[in-house]
Structure 1
Amino acid sequence: MKIFPAIDIQDKKCVRLVKGDFDNKTEYEMSPVEQAGKYKDHGFKNLHIVDLDGALTGETVNLDIIREIVNKFDLKIEIGGGVRNFESIQKYTDAGVEKVILGSAAIKDKNFLKDACKKFPNKIALGLDAKDGYLSVSGWKEISNELTLDYLKDVNDFGVSRLIYTDINRDGMKQSPNFDETVKVADTSNCPVIISGGVSSIDDIKKAKELNNKNIEGIIVGKAIYDGDIKLEELVKELDA
C-alpha cells in the first residue's frame, strides 16, 4: 500500500480546506518545501500535491515550488489543481513529476483526457471527486449530473495510469474515507485507484490494507497529519507492514 502524504499549496503556504471550501481553511507554519523534506526524512517515497492557486486560476502558479521539491528530494510526486491544457501538463512533466492529475477539465471534456493520455503515456492520473455518487467539478463548486461509475466506464479504455477517488463529503472532515464507494470504483476501473478524503487515524490506513483489493494502490493522508492525529512515525510503519 503506497501512502501519499498530502501538501496543498496556496499563497506559497501549506493549507488544508474543509470539503474544498476556500473560505474554510487552515494555514500551517511550515513551507511546502520544508514539509516535503519532512516526509522524505521519515522515509516516504510518494507525495500528493495540490496547487490550490492553480485550481482557482487554471495556471501552474506554484511550478517553482514543485521544481524545488522534485530537485531537492527523490520523491515520486503526483500534482493536480487547475491543469486544463497540454502546456501545463508539459511543464509539470518537464519538472520531473511522476503523474499529472486531471480533474474538472477531463470531466468536462473527455476528448481532452483521451488526447492527454496518448500524448503523455503513463503520466496522466484522473481525479474523480464525487458527492452522493455524482461527479463534482470546478473546485467542487458544481455537482455534475453524471454518475461517477458511468463516467468511468466511458473513459476506462483511454489509458489513464492512476485514478484518485475522493468523496467530498469526507474530505477534511476526518470521518474515515468512503471505503464502500472506493471499492466499487476500484472494481470498475482499468487502472489502479488511490483512496482520498477523510483519513482520520492510523486505523483507516489499516482498514484500507485489509480491503485486500489488488486494484487499490494507495491512500492519501492530509489533515490528520497536520493536526497531529496521525504521527509520521506510526504512518511510515504501515509502508512496510
Structure 2
Amino acid sequence: MILYPAIDLKDGQCVRLLRGEMDAATVFGDDPAAQAAAFEAAGCAWVHLVDLNGAFAGQPVNGAAVEAILARVKVPCQLGGGIRDMATIERWLSRGLARVILGTVAVENPALVREAALAFPGKVAVGIDARAGRVATKGWAHETDMMVTDLARSFEDAGVAAIIYTDIDRDGAMQGPNIAATEALARAVSIPVIASGGVSSIVDLMALRDTGVISGAISGRALYDGAIDLGAAITALGA
C-alpha cells in the first residue's frame, strides 16, 4: 500500500483543514516546494496535492505553488482542486503533473472524466468526497443525493487510474479513517481505492493495508504534527 503525504494549498501556504472548513485552516508552512522536497527526502513514492482555493473557485488558484513543487521534486505528484475542463487537465499534465484528480466534474460532467481517462491513460483519478455515504462537491460545500458506491461503479469501464475516497467528517480530525466504508468501496469496484481522511497513526495505516484491498492512503495533519513519522511509516508498509 502506497502512503501519499499530502500538501493542501491555501493562499500559497501549506495548510490542513478540519472537516473541510476553509475558516478552520491551520498553517503548517509557507514554502510548499520545500515541504514536498522534505517528503521526497523521507522516501515517499508520491506526493498528493490539493488546491483548496481552486476547489471552491472552480479553477486553479495555487498554480504557482504547484509549479514550484513540480520543479523541485522528482517523485510523481497528483493534484486535485479546481480541475474541471479538458484544457486545465492538458495544461497540468503537460507541466509534469503525473495525475489529475477530478472530483466535482465526476458528478456534474462524467463524460469529461471518460474523455480525459481515454486521452491520458493512467493519469486521471476520480476524487469522491462524502458525508455519511453521500457525495459532496465544490470543495465539500454542496452535498448531493448520490451514493459513493453508485458514483464509483459508474466509472468501472472508464479506465480511471484510481478512486480517492475521503470521509469528510474524519478529515483533519485525527480520529482515524473510516476503514469499514473505504474497504466496502474497494470491494465494490475493481478500480484501485486510495483512502483519505483521518489517517492519524501507523496503526491506522496498518489497518488499511491489512484489508488487502485498499491500494493507498493519504495523510497530512498527522505528518505535520509528528503523529506519523513518514520514513518509519514507509518502511513499515514496505512501500
TM-score range, shorter chain: over 0.9
Map of 1:134-173 to 2, 5 A cutoff?
134-173=134-173
| Aligned-pair CA distance for 1:238 | 2.4
Counterpart for residue 229 of structure 1: 227
Q: 1:64 to 1:175 in 2, by over 3 A?
A: same
| Aligned-pair CA distance for 1:138 | 1.1
Question: In structure 1, the residue corresponding to 2:169 is in which secondary structure?
Answer: coil
Cα separation, 2, equivalents of 1:180 and 1:7: 25
Asked whether the equivalents of residues 152 and 163 of structure 2 are also in contact (C-alpha less than 8 Å), the reply is no
The yes-or-no answer on 1:182 pairing with 2:149 is: no
| Aligned-pair CA distance for 1:54 | 1.2
| Aligned-pair CA distance for 1:60 | 2.1
Map of 1:51-200 to 2, 5 A cutoff?
51-200=51-200
Asked whether the equivalents of residues 15 and 29 of structure 2 are also in contact (C-alpha less than 8 Å), the reply is no
| Aligned-pair CA distance for 1:30 | 4.5
| Aligned-pair CA distance for 1:203 | 0.7
Deviates further, 97-106 or 69-78: 69-78
Question: In structure 1, the residue corresponding to 2:154 is in which secondary structure?
Answer: helix
Give, as a single letter, the amino acid of the residue that structure 2 aligns with 1:122: G
Deviates further, 113-122 or 73-82: 113-122
| Aligned-pair CA distance for 1:181 | 0.9
Q: Which runs of 5+ in 1 are unaligned?
A: none
Question: What's the CA shift string for 1:20-78, capped at 9, x where partnerless?
Answer: 10011101234110100110111112110001121122222222322222222111111
The yes-or-no answer on 1:27 pairing with 2:27 is: yes
Asked whether the equivalents of residues 157 and 190 of structure 1 are also in contact (C-alpha less than 8 Å), the reply is no
Cα separation, 2, equivalents of 1:98 and 1:189: 23
- TM value normalised by structure 2: 0.95
Give, as a single letter, the amino acid of the residue that structure 2 aligns with 1:150: D
Q: Which runs of 5+ in 2 are unaligned?
A: none
Give runs of ≥4 in structure 1 deviating > 3 Å.
Answer: none
Question: What's the CA shift string for 1:161-198, capped at 9, x where partnerless?
Answer: 11101111111111111111111111122221101100
Cα separation, 1, equivalents of 2:154 and 2:237: 33
Note the aligned Cα RMSD (angstroms).
Answer: 1.4
Deviates further, 28-37 or 195-204: 28-37
Asked whether the equivalents of residues 66 and 95 of structure 1 are also in contact (C-alpha less than 8 Å), the reply is no
Equivalent residue pairs, number: 239
Give, as a single letter, the amino acid of the residue that structure 2 aligns with 1:130: A
| Aligned-pair CA distance for 1:224 | 0.8
Give, as a single letter, the amino acid of the residue that structure 2 aligns with 1:238: A
Give, as a single letter, the amino acid of the residue that structure 1 aligns with 2:222: A
Percent identity among equivalent residues?
Answer: 37
Question: In structure 2, the residue corresponding to 1:24 is in which secondary structure?
Answer: strand
Cα separation, 1, equivalents of 2:124 and 2:29: 31
Asked whether the equivalents of residues 134 and 148 of structure 2 are also in contact (C-alpha less than 8 Å), the reply is yes
Counterpart for residue 12 of structure 1: 12
Cα separation, 1, equivalents of 2:130 and 2:58: 21
The yes-or-no answer on 1:217 pairing with 2:215 is: yes
Counterpart for residue 3 of structure 1: 3
Give, as a single letter, the amino acid of the residue that structure 1 aligns with 2:56: L
The yes-or-no answer on 1:206 pairing with 2:206 is: yes
